């Protein structure tokens, strides 16, 4: 992509390992991050390190099984 090497991961088990278990071992794509911070702010998708860990810890209760189940039911009604 743009004359730079890119690795695309398609294996679902490997994607889960990268995103959940080893998220801090793989830095985010930095080229677009600078532009998007003006649009989206410095949220969970833009920050790294301790700030990301703190924001992710605050967001975890929103993704509990009960909350997701309620949202799923709500979208079924639509």
Residue 63 lies inside a defined structural domain of this protein: yes
pLDDT of residue 33: 65
- Whether the Cβ atoms of residue 9 and residue 15 lie closer than 8 Å to each other: yes
3-state secondary structure the chain: CCCCCCCCCCCHHHHHHHHHHCHHHCCCCHHHHHHHHHHHCCCCCCCCHHHHHHHHHHHHHHHCHHHHHHHHHHHHHC
User: By residue range, what is the domain housing residue 73?
Assistant: 30-77
- Whether the Cβ atoms of residue 56 and residue 44 lie closer than 8 Å to each other: yes
Residue 60 lies inside a defined structural domain of this protein: yes
Average pLDDT over residues 17-46: 76
Residue 34 lies inside a defined structural domain of this protein: yes
Residue 56 lies inside a defined structural domain of this protein: yes
Total domain count, the chain: 1
Residue 53 lies inside a defined structural domain of this protein: yes
Res 31 pLDDT > 80: no
Residue 40 lies inside a defined structural domain of this protein: yes
Predicted TM-score (pTM) of the model is 0.54
Residue 38 lies inside a defined structural domain of this protein: yes
């Amino acid at each position: 992509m743009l004359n730079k090497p890119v690795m695309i991961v398609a294996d679902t088990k490997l994607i889960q390992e990268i995103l959940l278990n080893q998220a801090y071992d793989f830095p985010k794509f930095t080229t677009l991050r600078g532009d998007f911070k003006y649009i989206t702010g410095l949220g969970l998708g833009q920050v790294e390190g301790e700030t990301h860990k703190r924001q992710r810890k605050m967001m975890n209760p929103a993704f509990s099984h009960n909350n997701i189940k309620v949202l799923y039911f709500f979208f079924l009604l639509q």
